[in-house]
């Protein structure tokens, strides 16, 4: 299967990227302009071109235009709560084994960054339900998710956002994978994880080690095995002539990840 060329159209989101790789997320609208310190770009000059084209500003500046990747969008979208960084999203998708067709429950939704990645990974045949305690965070996540799916046929029906406190338990059963990105997941383990199928994976994302200890203890006490704790450190490199070295800056600490698999039940072996 090949993908046909798709010139940029009015109504879609693009990234303008300058020579210092600063990124500007813009929705193309007929007759509108993009203003920056580098000058003005008329959207009409961009509509109809291919992504990957250079665009000149009125001051002679040069930017490049691309459709944003999901990771670009996750970092640029409005935040109610801190989003999970792409390097950690990537680890979650693999280590929590989010597969096409999976039924995934998540809490809390926050800004919806991880939710978007989960929805994409489970595909049309899967299902994602995301719980969020705070109405304002729920509303922001919904806005971000609707904006991402604008022009893509709208938010899929198999992605559901709910306002609710996960400590009170969840309505769903037969869950394959559960992801908890919230401050005190240990209080949810036991009640909500009853909904996980045997062999199901629980994945928790936490910023500090005391939280990790408490969560791992709760998982051990509540019928999980193969518990694994790790973090991901992403070091980018500068490759330019003789200058071949790690970049001077990197994102230091974001969070720790814990995964564990649910046992089948009380066993006396
Ligand atoms: C760090 S944010 C999640 C960010 C999200 N993963 C993202 O990538 O955008 C944590 C969220 O958990 C929510 N939360 C905290 N306790 C909760 C609970 N008991 N039930 C549901 N959501 C909860 C908070 O309101 C907050 O929005």
* 76-116 confidence digits (pLDDT tens): 999 989 999 999 999 999 999 999 999 999 999 999 999 99
Preceding omega of 120 cis (within 30 degrees of 0): no
**Residue 98, C-beta contacts closer than 8 angstroms, at least 6 positions apart:** 92, 104, 118, 121, 122, 177
Query: Interhelix angle for 86-95 vs 113-122, to 10°?
Result: 40
* Cα 217–chain centre separation: 27
Homologous superfamily of domain range 71-262: Vaccinia Virus protein VP39 (3.40.50.150)
Percent of all residues in the chain with a pLDDT value above 90, rounded to a whole number: 89
Quote the pLDDT of residue 268: 53
| Closest to 251 (Cα-Cα) out of 238, 237, 235, 231 | 235
Kindly give the parts of the chain with pLDDT less than 50. Answer: none
**What is the pTM assigned to this prediction?**
0.94
Quote the pLDDT of residue 243: 93
Pocket test for ligand 1, best of 104, 108, 137, 183 (most atoms within 8 A of CB): 108
Nearest CA to ligand 1 atom 3: 110
Q: How far is residue 206 from each of residues 19, 31, 123, measured CA to CA in Å?
A: 35, 46, 26
**Which ligand 1 atom lies nearest to the CA of residue 84?**
8
Q: What CATH number was assigned to the domain covering residues 13-66?
A: 3.10.330.20
* Domain-wise residue ranges, the chain: 13-66, 71-262
Pocket test for ligand 1, best of 112, 120, 133, 166 (most atoms within 8 A of CB): 133
**Residue 8, C-beta contacts closer than 8 angstroms, at least 6 positions apart:** 14, 28, 46, 47, 48, 49, 50, 51, 65, 67
Q: What angle do CA 53, 59, 36 make, to 5 degrees?
A: 75
| Closest to 112 (Cα-Cα) out of 96, 125, 128, 97 | 128
Nearest CA to ligand 1 atom 2: 110
Quote the pLDDT of residue 254: 96
């Amino acid at each position: 299967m090949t993908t046909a060329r798709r010139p940029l159209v009015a109504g879609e989101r693009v990234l303008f990227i300058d020579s210092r790789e600063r990124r500007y997320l813009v929705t193309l609208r007929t007759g509108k302009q993009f203003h920056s310190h580098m000058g003005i770009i008329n959207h009409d000059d961009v509509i109809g071109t291919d992504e990957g084209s250079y665009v000149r500003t009125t001051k002679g500046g040069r930017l490049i235009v691309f459709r944003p990747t999901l990771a670009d969008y996750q970092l640029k979208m409005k935040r109610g709560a801190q989003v999970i960084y792409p390097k950690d999203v990537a680890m979650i998708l693999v280590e929590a084994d989010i597969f096409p067709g999976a039924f995934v429950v998540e809490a809390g939704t926050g800004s919806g960054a991880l939710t978007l990645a989960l929805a994409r990974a489970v595909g049309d045949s899967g299902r994602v339900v995301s719980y969020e305690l705070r109405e304002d965070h729920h509303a922001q996540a919904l806005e971000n998710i609707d904006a991402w799916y604008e022009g893509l046929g709208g938010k899929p029906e198999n992605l559901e956002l709910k306002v609710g406190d996960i400590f009170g338990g969840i309505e769903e059963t037969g869950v394959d994978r559960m992801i908890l990105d919230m401050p005190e997941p240990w209080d949810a383990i036991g009640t909500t994880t009853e909904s996980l199928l045997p062999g199901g994976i629980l994945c928790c994302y936490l910023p500090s080690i005391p939280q990790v200890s408490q969560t791992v203890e709760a998982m051990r006490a509540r019928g999980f095995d193969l518990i694994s704790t790790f973090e991901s450190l992403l070091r980018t490199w500068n490759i330019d002539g003789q200058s071949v070295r790690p970049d001077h800056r990197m994102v230091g600490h974001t969070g720790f990840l814990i995964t564990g698999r649910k046992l089948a039940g009380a066993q006396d072996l």
